[in-house]
Structure 1
Amino acid sequence: MRDLPHFGPDFTWGVSTASYQIEGAVDEDGRGRSVWDEFSHTPGRILNGDTGDVACDHYHRYREDVALMADLGVDAYRFSIAWPRIQPDGVTVEPRGLDFYDRLVDTLLEHGIEPSATLFHWDSPLALEAGGGWENRDIADRFAEYARIVGERLSDRVTRWFTLNETVVFTLLGHATGIHAPGKELGFGALQVAWHQLLAHGRSVQALRAAGAQQVGPANNHCEVLPIEDTPEHRDAAGLFDLIYNRAFLDPILRGTWPLAGIVDPVAQDGDLELISQPIDFLGVNSYNPQYVAAAEPGAEIPFEMVTPEGLEYNDFGWPIIPEGFTRMLTGLKDTYGDALPPILITENGGAFNETPGEDGRVRDQRRIDYTAAHLGALHDAIDAGVDVRGYFHWSFMDNFEWAEGYSQRFGLTYVDYETQQRIPKDSFAWYRSVIDAQRDR
């Protein structure tokens, strides 16, 4: 394991979570149902029939969790706001939902932790699905109104705002393949959903700035895309996947262009790209591993396949561990977008390593330490290569509801016993704290 270089005195060290994955309390204080409530209660959708009804009970235990973050020593905490807590029916405002995030933000500030809020991490109000949900262009206006409400309440204390989280994953898994909520299988038609999310991003940037937000940007998922073999067919398949996965969610924001023109064109209106390409202050990048792609069999509806080659090291989720791919992804963004690329924050990076407490109660998750150390080293290599990266938020602060995989995969620095809700800081927690302390001592 390499020694970590210095990231500088202004580098931000943080952790991330998401509302549906940790909060629980799904029917308290006026919260409406989300698409994930509906999806997780549909038989066969989630491994072991798990739901986020209780999750980590963070809604009731946030003070305990924030105290643990303070012990960890992070500068900032990236959390998401549950839209159905704020507008249970997608329209009406629920004051008790705003009150909860008021309390959370104030508690963070009391502990010297910078609140970094994400407006949307996939838990749409179920009521909006009756009107088509994200297939309906009108949702961009609904989202802008939600952004205004939250921004006016919190932007006096929350300076860093993320608009939407991982539009690509919400599009592909939620609307193209149906693996995630809301469970739609639209194939390439899901790119219309992507367009509406991009519009929602642009409108929410405007709304947040009008409400006084100081720093605004998206949190996108990006990865290095590699052909499984160096042949024309596999290279073409990888190239198309890269357009869909990476550039379709970034070109419109940074360049005001649609990279799939003539391949898959969304229904758009004049002025859409100008709206989507509102200036942003940073780009949040979530990244875990490269993606290998193969050409599909002739005649297949989708011309590429995501594959997992043999001979690599994998985490417990089956994702390959290739730190140098992290460097190449970041330098690739710099090479592609040049001066149009704003400063980057790594908003998610981590791995599923499912170690549990030993007889002494200690969680020895050395594999997570090794993974994170390697990726921090790879991150610094990208900085040395000229990429302007200003912060790192580890995913995740604690174990949580891992979407379609339920509670089977553990990403946290903190172990959660879901039966007792006991929090146990893992070895990686102590290691990450030592990293942050060492960086500040230099």
Structure 2
Amino acid sequence: MGKFEKGFLIGAATAAHQVEGNNKNSDYWAMEHMKYTSFAEPSMDAVDHYNRYEEDIKMMAEAGLNAYRFSIEWARIEPVKGEFDEKEIEHYRKVLECCRNYGIEPVVTMLHFTSPKWLIEEGGWENEETIGLFANYCKYVVEKLGSYMHYICTINEANMGLQIAAISARYKAQMMEKMKQGAGADADKEAAKGTEGTVQVGLNMQKMMENMENQARENMEVFGVTTPQVFVSGRTPKGDILVMKAHQAAKKAIKEVNANLQVGLTLSLHDIQAKEGGEKRAEEEWDEEFLHYLPYIKEDDFFGLQNYTRSVMDADGICAVPQGAELTQMDYEIYPQALEACIRKVYKELNMPVIVTENGIAVADDTVRVDFINKATDGVANCIADGIPVKGYLYWSLMDNFEWQKGYSMTFGLIAVDRSTQKRTAKPSLKHLGGLIERS
């Protein structure tokens, strides 16, 4: 017997840049190929999902999954400002049709971190004009493809910029303290490792800081600015609200085309817990991560919740991971109970349907992944039993892929990919996830 009733969305998620390959008009492609890059390696062909999407969608369906969250790549649709590529629209039409043909509900994300390079050259995600440009892109896509969609996430992890700004500040403070103490390179590595494990995206903090001066010169050559404001840059408070305004403008544009489409965004959330003395810091962290966004999302149709682990706070801020705790390849603490806690906290403040748009684990041992999925989805089932309208659980990620600055070393996937041949091999966790839903 499945854990969830028929109609519940059980599936997996990807992001275009991480799986499609050869996203050559994007900001990330440019950054990956810079001499002083912070990326461990370039994305190149990725896992060639652009050409192999039917094979991947078929594998999902055969395993029992019924939903697929993927992103449409703005840099493909509008490679030059104001010029839309009909060939690329047709590509995503085929992906959407393929989902429908295999009984898979598409959950479409309009922006999953990557942007057209031209947008960054014009000021990127700190430029007010980006609000209208993003809305215009969303309107165009929905005019062409909206009839194939039901759920749309405008922006993935809209709060990521503030999280990165915060960990950058923490890392710099730690480095200043280490310098005072005369600590060496090993201390730098430990500080980088500790800060990277507190944000839910692949970063190379040490490399970023070491290359800062050289990167500034190269950024001027590549983007025309010393500090390009890509989506995953440290956000200013003004830029943080700009992202929210872009979401609202996009939602308005989408609804004007098709009022029946269900529109929301996703936020990266931690289960924020307080040790004695850390209660105030925990409240401040939850406000920055979630509460201050409420005025901008309270009229949405659903909320996309993304969670991987917890953050424990004391009077000084975020604590180190407990001694002896099991860690993922991303240096997150393995803590699947965090998902249930986040769902309950979110629903207390935001009375609307919730879709878990990302939750997953980067490990080599698939039995650990299966155990994580079991415990995380137990929490989802507990929430549903208590009347919280959780509509779906989408595991991150469908397949091992390009984890941003960390390259291909992180294995989150339900499907393994041999990148020398692009051969797919389903892990037992794929079928296990599909078995969590009622079939009759």
TM-score by length of 2: 0.81
Instruction: Report the counterpart of residue 354 of structure 1 in structure 2.
Output: 364
Matching of residue 111 in structure 1 with residue 155 in structure 2:
no
Shift of 1:221: 1.8
Alignment of 1:330-409 (within 5 A): 330-337=343-350, 341-355=351-365, 365-409=366-410
Flag the 1:158–1:11 CA change in 2: closer, same or farther, 3 A: same
CA contact (8 A) 1:175 1:185 kept: no
Instruction: Report the counterpart of residue 267 of structure 1 in structure 2.
Output: none
* Structure 2: distance between partners of 1:51 and 1:66: 25
Shift of 1:293: 3.1
Q: Alignment partner for residue 25 of structure 1, among 16, 22, 26?
A: 22
Alignment of 1:34-49 (within 5 A): 34-43=26-35, 45-46=37-38, 49=40
Instruction: Report the counterpart of residue 226 of structure 1 in structure 2.
Output: 273
Whose relative contact order is higher, 1 or 2, with alpha carbons under 8 Å and at least 6 apart? 2
Deviations 1:25-61 (A, max 9, x none): 324xxxxx212112222345445x3122211111111
Instruction: Report the counterpart of residue 68 of structure 1 in structure 2.
Output: 59
Alignment of 1:49-68 (within 5 A): 49-68=40-59
Alignment of 1:92-241 (within 5 A): 92-173=83-164, 177=168, 179=203, 190-212=236-258, 213-227=260-274, 229-231=275-277, 234-241=278-285
Shift of 1:327: 1.7
* Structure 1: distance between partners of 2:137 and 2:71: 13
CA contact (8 A) 2:27 2:116 kept: yes
* Structure 1: distance between partners of 2:435 and 2:342: 27
* Structure 2: distance between partners of 1:216 and 1:16: 17
* Structure 2: distance between partners of 1:61 and 1:6: 31
- Secondary structure in 1 matching 2:280: helix
CA contact (8 A) 2:370 2:429 kept: yes
Flag the 1:195–1:14 CA change in 2: closer, same or farther, 3 A: same
CA contact (8 A) 2:20 2:46 kept: yes
* Structure 2: distance between partners of 1:280 and 1:434: 31
Letter in 1 for 2:27: V
* Structure 2: distance between partners of 1:419 and 1:336: 47
* Structure 1: distance between partners of 2:381 and 2:106: 25
Flag the 1:34–1:186 CA change in 2: closer, same or farther, 3 A: closer
Q: Greater shift after overlay, 415-424 or 6-15? A: 6-15
CA contact (8 A) 1:344 1:388 kept: yes
TM-score by length of 1: 0.81
Instruction: Report the counterpart of residue 246 of structure 1 in structure 2.
Output: 290
Letter in 2 for 1:287: N
Matching of residue 288 in structure 1 with residue 288 in structure 2:
no
Instruction: Report the counterpart of residue 329 of structure 2 in structure 1.
Output: 316
- Secondary structure in 2 matching 1:409: coil
Letter in 1 for 2:272: V
Shift of 1:147: 0.5
Instruction: Report the counterpart of residue 265 of structure 1 in structure 2.
Output: none
- Secondary structure in 1 matching 2:70: strand
CA contact (8 A) 2:125 2:231 kept: no
Letter in 1 for 2:100: L
Shift of 1:157: 1.1
* Structure 1: distance between partners of 2:436 and 2:232: 43
Instruction: Report the counterpart of residue 80 of structure 2 in structure 1.
Output: 89
CA contact (8 A) 2:113 2:231 kept: no
* Structure 2: distance between partners of 1:380 and 1:327: 9
Shift of 1:284: 1.1
Shift of 1:121: 0.2
Q: Alignment partner for residue 11 of structure 2, among 9, 14, 17?
A: 14
Flag the 1:172–1:387 CA change in 2: closer, same or farther, 3 A: same
- Secondary structure in 2 matching 1:323: coil
Shift of 1:186: 7.7
Unpaired runs of at least 5, structure 2: 170-202, 205-227
Deviations 1:252-289 (A, max 9, x none): 322xxxxxxxxxxxxxxxxxxxxxxxx32111111111
- Secondary structure in 1 matching 2:337: helix
Aligned length: 383
Q: Greater shift after overlay, 64-73 or 128-137? A: 64-73
* Structure 2: distance between partners of 1:90 and 1:67: 35
CA contact (8 A) 1:83 1:119 kept: yes
Shift of 1:312: 2.5
Unpaired runs of at least 5, structure 1: 28-32, 255-278, 297-303, 356-364
* Structure 2: distance between partners of 1:342 and 1:410: 33
- Secondary structure in 1 matching 2:153: strand
- Secondary structure in 2 matching 1:15: strand
* Structure 1: distance between partners of 2:115 and 2:287: 26
Flag the 1:315–1:431 CA change in 2: closer, same or farther, 3 A: same
Letter in 2 for 1:26: N
Flag the 1:412–1:44 CA change in 2: closer, same or farther, 3 A: farther
Shift of 1:6: 3.4
- Secondary structure in 2 matching 1:14: strand
Flag the 1:183–1:199 CA change in 2: closer, same or farther, 3 A: closer
Instruction: Report the counterpart of residue 30 of structure 1 in structure 2.
Output: none
- Secondary structure in 2 matching 1:155: helix
Over the matched positions of the two proteins, sequence identity in percent amounts to: 29
Flag the 1:215–1:51 CA change in 2: closer, same or farther, 3 A: same
- Secondary structure in 2 matching 1:100: helix
Instruction: Report the counterpart of residue 301 of structure 1 in structure 2.
Output: none
* Structure 2: distance between partners of 1:251 and 1:9: 33
Flag the 1:403–1:378 CA change in 2: closer, same or farther, 3 A: same
